[in-house]
Amino acid sequence: MITAPERTPLARSFFDRPVLEIAPDLLGRVLVRATDDGPIELRLTEVEAYDGANDPGSHSYRGRTDRNAVMFGPPGHTYVYFTYGMWHCLNLVCGPEGKASGVLLRAGEIVVGADLARAHRAASRKDSDLAQGPARLATALSVDRALNGADACSDDGGPFRILTGTPPDRALIRSGPRTGVGGDGAVHPWRYWIADDTTVSPYRAHVPRKRR
DNA sequence: CTCTTGATGCGCT
DNA sequence: GCGCATCAAGAGG
């Protein structure tokens, strides 16, 4: 069978590189989420890099725990965590193995299965809102912790695949501080997005929560 | 459009 | 206990 080049799955070696190379290179790639009701395909428009070794913003900064264990495993797998008491966020583990780095998938454009995504995202009205933000993205794709550690680089019928897609012109790639990351982690411009794309989430600086 | 706030579970110190 | 890689609704401009 003939496979279009943009439909070629990314090899695991794609993720076995320094995370700061991988993160901008993920823009324009297509994440395929196979659900029981059918596929949902997401063109990535916004990501953030987390580098466990030197990065106080990373979940793996203080070493391995039960929660972040998959970040220390082989690249090309998912890392799903639960936050703010009600949301999930989806990351891709990057190599080299042992570095515990990863990329948070922050936003994208639903290119296939918008009806399925909308069913998961009852609050959304506009198509551009469906995956505009990390927890919205995970909700639209029906991702929770049951999918933590899934292999996204095998074609054995698992819940995820990642296709080559059509990366944007390098001139359209922007970078800046990561959303919601404070402290020493705020200095790194490790958020990457596609310029002028309506599915990119609005930037919010880190704000310590007030006591009540 | 922007800004504020409540909702909520749990990992970590 | 504190604080989080957040979202959605509501108020105000």
CA at A154, C1' at C1: how many angstroms apart? Answer: 43
The tens digit of pLDDT for each residue in A192-202 reads 999 999 999 99
Say which nucleotide is closest to residue A50, CA to C1' distance.
C5
- A25 in Cβ contact with A15 (< 8 Å): no
Question: Residue A183: inside a domain, yes or no?
Answer: yes
Question: Residue A25: inside a domain, yes or no?
Answer: yes
Q: Is the CB of A133 under 7 A from strand C?
A: yes
Q: Among A32-46, A103-117, A173-187, name the one with the lowest average pLDDT.
A: A173-187
Say which nucleotide is closest to residue A63, CA to C1' distance.
B12
Predicted confidence (pLDDT) at residue A140 exceeds the cutoff of 60: yes
Instruction: Label residue A2 by pLDDT band (50, 70, 90).
Output: confident
Predicted confidence (pLDDT) at residue A36 exceeds the cutoff of 70: yes
Which residues span the domain enclosing A134? Answer: 5-194
Question: Residue A74: inside a domain, yes or no?
Answer: yes
Instruction: Label residue A19 by pLDDT band (50, 70, 90).
Output: very high
Task: Write out residues whose CB is closer than 7 A to strand B.
Answer: A 59, 62, 65-68, 82-86, 202, 210, 212
Average pLDDT, chain A: 93
Provide the positions of strand C that have an atom within 7 A of a protein CB: 2-9
Q: Is the CB of A154 under 7 A from strand C?
A: no
Q: Is the CB of A202 under 7 A from strand C?
A: no
Strand ranges for chain A from DSSP E? 30-35, 38-51, 78-83, 87-94, 101-112, 160-163, 173-176, 191-194
Q: What is the mean pLDDT of residues A185-207?
A: 92
Question: Residue A110: inside a domain, yes or no?
Answer: yes
CA at A210, C1' at B6: how many angstroms apart? Answer: 13
Q: What is the mean pLDDT of residues A61-75?
A: 95
Instruction: Label residue A210 by pLDDT band (50, 70, 90).
Output: low
Tell me the two tokens of residue A33: 């989420």
Predicted confidence (pLDDT) at residue A211 exceeds the cutoff of 60: no
Total of domains in chain A: 1
Q: Which of A153, A169, A157 lies closest to A8, judged by CA?
A: A153
pLDDT value of position A86? 95
Question: Residue A54: inside a domain, yes or no?
Answer: yes
Question: Residue A47: inside a domain, yes or no?
Answer: yes
